[in-house]
Structure 1
């Protein structure tokens, strides 16, 4: 076992390292179609956006975004939503949004997304 002070120091170091990586724009967003999610691994944590894809109707439904508390407010959720919307654009999919966070992002950026995203209200 490690002394508590050593564990806390390691935790603080990893948090600072992750913050530095985010500030330098090093976030690597992954897409796993088998798990139906976009994700980013932040040290030992994972942030993700889960979705459903209706292949027949060609609709990507954004269901839920989850970001570990230590990384909230750092733009991680925003990058996940951007990756999902970019995927919808590339694959020519319509988009339904059930996730409150993703919906706020869409509404805040609706003017820039107009003509690119085929939004389908609930």
Structure 2
């Protein structure tokens, strides 16, 4: 598995950011609010991929997709919230004014 060569995609049909690794799929479920904010609801990483940086890559690339779309986030998922708290300097500007960490 060459994690560096893989890219997270926005699966708009299923409202989730996805990172496919061989036959495994890691994803973040989201919902777009009426105000244009993106609610990051739940992160799922298959157990076999845990501890290998997959979750961090998924969150980082999902936040890049959101930033490129000029959206703001409300992180409801504890994993995403923790990632942002640990990387505030890089991602705090993406938080909606209604978001709380």
- Among 90, 94, 101, the residue aligned to 1:117: 94
CA deviations over 1:44-103 (Å, ceiling 9, x no partner): 11111110011x301100011111111111111111111221122112212111111101
List gaps (5 residues or longer) in structure 2: none
Q: Which runs of 4+ in 1 moved over 4 A?
A: none
- Among 38, 48, 70, the residue aligned to 2:48: 70
In structure 2, the residue matched to 1:98 is 76
Larger Cα-atom Rg: 1
List gaps (5 residues or longer) in structure 1: 1-17
Provide the C-alpha distance between the structure 2 equivalents of 1:108 and 1:87, rounded to a whole number of angstroms. Answer: 19
Q: Over aligned residue pairs, what C-alpha RMSD do you find?
A: 1.6
Answer yes or no: is the 8 Å Cα contact 1:93–1:118 preserved in 2.
Answer: no
Scaled by the length of structure 1, the TM-score of the pair is: 0.73
Shift of 1:113: 2.2
Q: Could you say what secondary structure the match of 2:83 adopts?
A: helix
Provide the C-alpha distance between the structure 2 equivalents of 1:44 and 1:88, rounded to a whole number of angstroms. Answer: 26
Q: Which of 1 and 2 has higher RCO (CA within 8 Å, sep 6+)?
A: 2
